[in-house]
Structure 1
Amino acid sequence: MADCNMRAFVAVEITDGKILDSIKNVQNEIKIEAKAVDTQNVHFTLLFLGEITEEMAAKVAERLKTIEFSPFVINFEGVGAFPKPRFARVIWVGIKEGSDELIRLAKSVEERLAVLGFKADKPFKPHATIFRIKGRALDVTERISSCAKINFGTQRVSEIKLKRSVLTPQGPIYSDLEVIHAK
């Protein structure tokens, strides 16, 4: 059987329903010409792996299982944009508390997977994408300024996931390849 390629990434999912409802409300309030990320797909990408084979996915899963981390709490606060609000390509929800732990976790993932040839293309900045802007970058300064201090709530992080991403015209479909629980 041929080895299939797949798009894959390592993520922390947002599982708290109240936080996801708050994100949905903000998506509805920010009126822009952009694709809102389905709330069930909102997550923190710890490391994007790109196209990998099933064989490589199995190796990645084995390496990820060697990561030891304790559960921690993250607090979601504020809305921002990359690369900057005047020329936004992505609108995100940020982290107030727990960002150091999330950064450490992303570093652990990268360190474990470096031996397989994976490396982050830029330093990890804790954010959860809620809009993707296709085409021309937008100035969203005014639209997101009222959201800068919104507190979305807190969530416990107790697992990371190796995820598969299948791109469709309706948006990506994610599935779990491996779940690694905190110790």
Structure 2
Amino acid sequence: MQRLFVGLELPRSVAEQLGRVRVEYPTARWHPVQALHLTLCFIGEVNAQTANAMAGALHDLPDPELKLTIRGVGYFGTPERPRVLWAGVTAEAALMQLQEEVEQRLVPVGLVPDTRAYRPHITLARVRQGGEPLRAFLEGHADLALPPFAVDHLSLYVSRGGEGGVRYEVIERFSWLKR
């Protein structure tokens, strides 16, 4: 069984800029810069046959002419118990349509779609508690704004646990079908 998701890789320069938002946060487990990505669709645990079918469904995606814009930071959870610190990604029409297209292609081959609305973000850290560190993080990076950047493919990732924490590996990249 493999734990899979579909996402967009970030250019190295963008990931390095996001790596600079790290602050002294005693209960945060910051994601390594090389692991930062934008998840489009979480798949979960699947067998090899389903993984192959899902990879096949992702071929020949039309070019969404996609540019991503990163703006601001936030968290999921409550101020007392935030679970995730994130950088926001503007929910532009092309991104939202791509996410929907990916999900629609994967449902027939076994994806159980998420019932929650898609909220584009880049997970920066997982945390165990809030308080002053959360407030300092939010205030210190409220004006985060990176220049828009183009995306020319999406990736199928496998998530692997281990002693050093979770690692994300790209299984396959899918370039856009040019119109």
TM range (shorter): 0.7 to 0.9
Moved over 3 A (4+): 84-87
2:16 corresponding residue in structure 1: 21
Q: Within the alignment, does 1:177 sit opposite 2:160 as a pair? A: no
Kindly tell me: are residues 93 and 131 of structure 1, through their superposed partners in 2, closer, same or farther at Cα, counting changes over 3 Å?
A: same
Partner of 2:104: 111
Task: Note the residue ranges of structure 1 that are not aligned, 5 or more in a row.
Answer: none
Q: What letter is aligned with 2:127?
A: I
Q: Structure 1 residue 56 and structure 2 residue 50: aligned? A: yes
Equivalent residue number for residue 130 of structure 2: 138
1:8 corresponds to which of 4, 7, 25? 4
How many Å separate the matches in 2 of 1:35 and 1:91? Answer: 10
Specify which of 162, 168, 181 is matched with residue 162 of structure 2.
Answer: 168
The partner residue of 1:79 within 73, 84, 89 is: 73
Aligned length: 174
CA distance in structure 2 between the aligned counterparts of 1:100 and 1:148, rounded to whole angstroms = 24
Tell me if structure 1 keeps the 8 A contact 2:62–2:176.
yes
Paired with 1:143 and 1:103, the residues of 2 have a C-alpha distance of 27
For 2:20, what is the secondary structure of its paired residue?
Answer: helix
**Cα deviation per residue 1:104-154 (whole Å; 9 max; x = unaligned)?**
1111111111112311242211100001014xx323134312311111332
Determine whether 1:92 maps to 2:86.
yes
Normalised by the size of structure 1, how large is the TM-score?
0.86
Which digits, 9 at most, give the CA deviation of each residue in 1:152-180, with x for residues without a partner? 33221111111111111212222222211
* Aligned residues with identical type, % of pairs: 25
**1:79, 1:148 within 8 Å by CA — same for their partners in 2?**
yes
1:44 to partner: Cα distance: 1.0
TM-score, L = length of structure 2: 0.88
Aligned equivalent of 1:126: 120
C-alpha contact 2:88 2:122 (8 A) present in aligned 1: yes
